[in-house]
Amino acid sequence: MKTTVEKLSPTRTKLTISVTPDELKPSIDHAYSHIAESVNIPGFRKGKVPPQLIDQRVGREEVLNHAVSDGLDKFYRQAVQEEKIRTLGRPAADVVTLPDIKDFSGDLVVTVEVDVRPEFDLPKYEGLKLTVDPVVVSADDLQDELDALRSRFGTLVTVGRPAKTGDFAQLDLVATIGDDEVDTANNISYEIGSGELIEGIDEALDSLTAGESTTFESTLVGGDNAGEKALIAVTLLAVKERELPDADDDFAQIASQFDTIKELKADLKEQVEKSKAFGQVSQARDMIVDELVKKVEIPVPQGLIDEEVHRHLEGENRLEDDVHRAEVAESSEKTFRSQILIDAIAEAEEVKVSQDELTQYLIQSAAQYGMEPGEFIKVLDENGQIPAMIGEVARGKTLALILEKANIVDTKGKKVDVTPFIGAPSENDEFDTSGAADLLASANAGGHEGHDHDDHDHGDHEGHDHN
């Protein structure tokens, strides 16, 4: 197989792939075999129809088309691997020349255009100085943590006053569009102010008393009418407030392994300190990526941005929202630039992903989606997304490696040790990033809502756009 590469732009490449008859023959054989399984010819069992008869009944042109369709992705992947092309997005293929239908002689010639990772010089990241917030645990921080623990052991008590933020409301909801009732929900419990139900519900319930009703307009978020405006009628059945237990030794013994509230508070303070220390690492991660991206010009294929923006807005049913479109476009471009940079550093540092690291990340991801790991992995595999997950883990490891090489201090000049959260270099110089999955999960949580990027550096997107 012969491949020539033409650089159309810094982010677009054209491959011309020539496949010899010998190289196409396995696909021709597969085509005959597959067609033999699907045709019914008297006197022959399925799968046993000879090629000569298939030529007569189906036609050699159909066999050739089947073979080309079957082999195209394989030839493309082989060309990408041999030419070391770092692809981004979905390729567009065009068959230029077919072999002779009479005897399948002559080369198959295909051109493929695909977006590629641009070439750029890596910015210097070793020794880069970052200044983050210091770890300070205030009395309010400790009280918030204690109250959060107390709330887990609290009880809901019905009250006769008007509802307010933080209360738990029992509700009946009815949604109507025009004269049609499109959805109902009865006797549901909702924490006012949590924002977990429907837009406008918190304002509607504010100051409402049990037994009272009101209406408000909102956009439905589920069901057959998702995305449509509806009139929501809400009836407040009961108002309940959470009654917290006293923070004393008895509570400490119920809620923890400690005998006294003093011991429990000391442990909570230690937990808050650890949380804020991890916050320093997360802050440094965001800062270092932003700083590195500023140091280098990384063009992003416009088609890649447009595709992501459309997918995102379509998922939100907001394709006509031009203001939001601009916001998502800006965020998408920033995200892609960051990913391209991190992928380039991963390649330069020869970052590898072990089976154990991938498994750990998949298990954590499955938990985030509320799925069993086995089922989650099956869905990913069926959709060709395992390579994307490998890419995500590699990015997490690379972020950890970059942070380990940086000089991180807080605003008081104290050096920040990131190794408890990201691991450390081992004796054989391989980077043991035991905390990389947590670091990556935190990074993904900080992105703009709804983005779910594929792996843009391994050429593992399924399918082509055939012209």
Q: Per-block average pLDDT, block size 10, for the chain (467 residues)?
A: 96 96 94 87 77 88 93 94 92 95 93 95 94 95 95 93 94 94 93 92 93 94 86 96 95 96 97 94 92 94 93 90 94 94 95 92 92 93 89 92 94 91 52 46 42 37 43
Domains of the chain: 2-116 (3.30.70.1050), 129-134+261-466 (1.10.3120.10), 155-243 (3.10.50.30)
Block residue for tokens 């307009």: 217
Cβ–Cβ under 8 Å, residues 116 and 85: yes
Phi-psi category of 120—alpha, beta or left, where left has phi over 0 and alpha has psi -120 to 50?
beta
Residue 451's pLDDT is what?
37
Partners of residue 170 on adjacent β-strands: 189, 238
CA–CA gap between residue 337 and residue 289 (Å, rounded): 10
The confidence score (pLDDT) of residue 39 equals 80
CA-based R_g, the chain, Å: 30
Q: What is the pTM of this model?
A: 0.70
382, 104 Cβ separation under 8 angstroms = no
The answer to whether the beta carbons of residues 47 and 15 sit under 8 Å apart is no
Q: Which two tokens stand for residue 289?
A: 């990526």
Looking at residue 153, its pLDDT comes to 94
Contacts of 355 (CB under 8 A, 6+ apart): none
Question: 404: part of which helix (H) or strand (E)?
Answer: helix 386-405
pLDDT score recorded for residue 149: 96
Mutual orientation of helices 386-405 and 322-348 as an angle, nearest 10°?
70
First-to-last alpha carbon distance for the chain, in angstroms, is: 22
Pairing label, strands 424-425, 431-432: antiparallel
Provide the pLDDT for residue 423: 64
